A and B are shown apart, each in its own frame.
Chain A
Amino acid sequence: MCFGPFPLHQTMASRKESAASGSSPLETPVKQIQIDGLVVLKIIKHYQEEGQGSEVVQGVLLGLVVEDSLEITNCFPFPQHTEDDVDFDEVQYQMEMMRSLRHVNIDHLHVGWYQSTHYGSFVSRALLDSQFSYQHAIEESVVLIYDPIKTAQGSLCLKAYRLTPKLMEICKEKDFSPEGLKKACIGFEIMFEEVPIVIKNSHLINVLLLDLQEKSTVADKHELLNLSSSNHLEKSLQLLMDRVDDMNQDIGKYNTYCRNLSKQQQQKQQYLQRRQQENTQRQSRGEPPLPEEDISKMFKPPQAPPRMDTLLIAGQVNNYCQNIKEFTSQNLGKLFMAEALQGHSS
């Protein structure tokens, strides 16, 4: 998976100024996100046109911060770059885009990025790194996750995530060892925080929509009542299973690490004891004690497996589970409804 668009430090500088002029820095600078209808449509369109299957599309969000809410007023897609055009300069592209948008009087402040997802699989190392660098540079930045499959089923699925301050700290220190994570008291539940989203349209658009609603027929709402579930569930289960496999492997690794560590501890203890015994013997014989040796050199602790990936996998598994739960509860509801309907009609 490729990295998302880059946060630009230049923008960050200008951003900082405005932030400084605004309210005092909060615990979480963004409490709410207000998205322009245009942005939503642009994201959807981007996916429809470029992302097919499990391909992921990404883009840059533009907007501004108003008090504790982040307003996303525009966005632009990020081109799919393939292996063969190496000389494509992402930063250059972003700069150009933003400069051009500025010329036509559009908000040009970088406030985050968006990404599409396939059956809710987005919790990955790449996303984490990308979002970390964003949040590191631009404090308010968010990542918008757009789920085209759910959207196709009839309910728009767009979610905004931010890294929690705790995770930010860990990422800053880059200490992903078991001890480090333990000290930070971080679990998969508190890695990401979801920020509530409000979609806002201008009054004119609202009027137009109301106007159109009356004119259009009701016919296009079938997907909502679609009863078939196995396909979607199967896919989700398949993905979930893959993650579980990964998790299993990671745990296995961690297990061997733990065992090695404890074995070594034992050896170390034995060695020390033996040394002590020998020393007491020598003392009783009146010989000088053996010189101290560097124990840490003799017993190099085994390399601890990084645990961040495990955390991410756990987060992803959690995510899948949520998705499946949501889906099944909806479907159950639909099934009951259908049953009731049938009973009524027969």
Chain B
Amino acid sequence: MEFSELIRTGRAQAELLRGPGAPPLRGTLCVTGHHLLLSPGPQATSDLWLLLLRSVDSIEKRVAGDSGTITLRCKDLRVLQLDIEGVEATLDIARSIEALSSLESVITSFPFFYRPKGLRLGDAWHFHPPEHHYKRVARETNAWRLSEVNEDFSVCPSYPRAVIVPRAVDDDALARSARFRQGGRFPVLSYHHAPSGTVLLRSSQPLTGPQKRRCAEDEELLRAVLAGARPGARGFIVDTRSAQAAKQARMTGGGTEAKAAYPGWKRLHRPMERGRPLQESFVRLVEACGDLEQSMDRWLSRLEGCRWLAHVKEALSTACLAAQGMEREGACILVHGAEGTDSTLLVTSLAQLILDPLSRTMTGFQELVEREWIQAGHPFQLRCAHSAFSHARPKHEAPTFLLFLDCVWQLGRQFPLSLEFGEGLLLALFEHAYASPFGTFLCNSEKERCLCEVRTRTHSLWSGLNQPKEQRKLRNPLYVLNPLAIWPSVEPQSLRLWQGLFLRWTRPPEPSEAAWEKVWQIVTDKEKTEGSQPTVSASEPQP
């Protein structure tokens, strides 16, 4: 196998320091094609320690005397230190890790080799097809149809095969509208809000350009949206850029919907940070959280200076805006920024969580992530190529998805009973989005996933997560169905640093885990006591 060329050394003796709380491990260190292994000596009883090389974000080596130290900063924000015997061995191992962790080829990545016990290939890949979502919409309204205009990904390379569009618009018109939108992302249905009979749409920016071009089919499409909604419905276009940025985009061929061309639609600008500033904010925050030297009396202003919580606030308030437009104003909402693959998805997915109780269930949320992020063409491979530790200048990296998870965590904190899943699921999604043995977050679009045969040759994360043994970590034991919209408070003092993620490896995790375990116990004890005749063996004493 080609990996062997990249592996400089077979093995070395090493000691692994895993940060506070975890005891150091000693043993034989070994680099394989996808993993770093540490097998403890024969006298030790503990298991093999295993690290997916893909999850290494940055590596730092230091040699002194006849030994060396490698510091691995992982994409899940863990920092590991390896003390290795032998200078050569240290350098070789460091070089091997460097080379193997930055391989770009998708089809040689670990998910294509990962064959866990108890899971079958192809399981769960059929869980959330567009047809599924369409069925729900069709039960609620007749105004929409499932179009396969993009069956071969030629109309829009970043859209899935099938999308939901107004029934009144035919495929030819869609194709023409696609030519008028950046990357072919013509307006499609994201969510139908049955209680108010309104819809949430997303797209990319229209290519009006400096000449202020128009496209009859695109205009017709949005007209058809209003006609299909409740009578008299108006529309709001939530542009996630500032008015000025939208105007400037005309110079490079983009732009925004002209008022006159789209009667019934009104534009609102809600500038949201994206791309590099967002990535930099993430890097600064992780730096601040990991900086143990830092004099603590400046912590709060440093946290503020990172601006991460400001981004959380922006995202949640824009989502509230969209959700409120639908719920309280009975208006249809179209969300887009420029490409329509980042902040757009952030807003549409959060708005659904606020409004739709189904999306707050375990399956509903997985479906939401699958539909609004993965199938909707959020470029995971580009955005999550590196996490916060990489020294390389960020190219396309941006923690948009992490920002989404953080916002969901804030919702969960403010509504502790309303989400069926807990912090555990959000942490798992963060980890897997950046480095995973599963294929779910591979590639940038359905088209690429199709080319790489991801669906047939890798396992789905959803089948991994939905195994019974994982449930206790992922579910919220307090959950009760809340049929109402959940309006979060976005005041700065209502938003918190997500300690469970950003301080995960520096704080003693025990109390919160103990608490979680306790809650589970109480909830499941209920079932136990409600169960059949009590037996003495069932009486686990309270710790």
> Are the chains A and B members of one assembly?
no
Chain B residues with CB under 8 Å of chain A are: none
